[in-house]
Structure 1
Amino acid sequence: MKAAAIRSFGGPEVVELLDVATPAAGPGEVRVRMRAAGVQPADCAVRGGWAPPGQELSFPQKIGNEFAGVVDQVGEGAAGFPVGSEVLGWALLAAHAEYVVVPTDQIVPKPAAMPWPVAGVLSASGQTAHTALERLKVGAGDTLLVHAAAGGVGTVAVQLHIEIAGTYPLAEAAEAHRAVETRRVRGRSPWWPADLVGVVPHRSAGVRHHRGVSCRPRGRRSGRGSRPGRR
């Protein structure tokens, strides 16, 4: 099969399309034929020499972490995803390939109405936003401030907050991104309501989260979504 990989660290020019062995599904695993795969800041960081925590990079190094596709092989004991299932999920440093093998707990069914390109990039942004809201312990009636709310993480965080809290969050985004249907916070000195419980900063779309943020007494802050290797 074909897979994107690098033999050295550097810019986009170091990415090559290599011929590698097609993997087979083992016990508890499924093999997915790729339909779409996402490219995140973490992928660019790996290409530049950054290694995910607990991982060692070696050449040739495959890249890519999130994907969407169709199950074409089911390993022994793997249940819930028969051949032909449309799924999305993640596979650490393996997703930019024609096929990927993953345990069934790393995939979920793809909604039928969701386009393949959207499904291919949902996993990383969705997990990041969900983790941020979990760490902030957002609950019913809470108010959340989401920086870069028109980005991948931001758009999911806004929607999750509406479902969890039952209210619209405060959202900050670049003027060009008019699609964010939330109240906006503009400028460098946003208003901090007394019931503000969380801040989800995220570097994207030219919007940088404010340094030295000081929330109200109940305030909490999550840095999920910042680029790997940066502060």
Structure 2
Amino acid sequence: MMGKKNSEGPRAVDVDRLLKRKGHGRGLVLERSSLFFNGKFLKLEQMLLNPKTEGDESAAFRNRMLATGKGMTRDGQQLSFTPIIGNGNCGFLTLAIGANNVLKERYSSFDIRRILCEEVRKNRQFYEEESTKNSSHRYHMDLEDEESFEEFEQSVLKTGWDGHWLGEKWGMLEIKSIAKALKITIDVYTYDSKSSSLRSYHQEQFGPGFVGMFFSGIAHKGHFDLLLKKKR
């Protein structure tokens, strides 16, 4: 390690500030254990929960951000990095913590799942049309059919490794729904090998609050972590 002692080690995460645990969701207090908020736990997470880095440049880049607590975009913007545990819930927890930070709210990951369902339920025709426009939306569902919608809703609200992972049904359309409901901007990043930095490859812009998501690993089996703009 270079520099002063601990100056470049894992950065502390103020878990209570990010999660605001007096909040809405029943699972909110339990989710405190999903963040690794000191050096010991960060190192454990790096050893046990990271995707294998062999042959995976994005996971190797994630390891570097895990060690420094930050990542640089291709245009030179520095973003803070918060690691999220890989447990099948990483996408929704990333968005909950990010939304809490920019909106000063108290969402749990389950709140975000519920918000996704409520948004689609309220605007069925819009999402019915959206789901047919892009081949990345893995299949089209007839949301006007109550049974079909309830099947979607039941899937989204199922948590855990064998539950619904963010983007499982509709890909980026699920992220669009959440950004639209919360009136925030969600930017999805990956590793850019040419510049050795973060590259934004999908953005849903519905408001000024910025939540960044870093995607590492391979498609359909990847992992989300949180990126936020560093406070001046």
* TM-score normalised by structure 2 residue count: 0.26
- Give TM-score scaled by structure 1 length: 0.26
Q: Larger Rg: 1 or 2?
A: 1
| Higher percent of residues as strand | 1
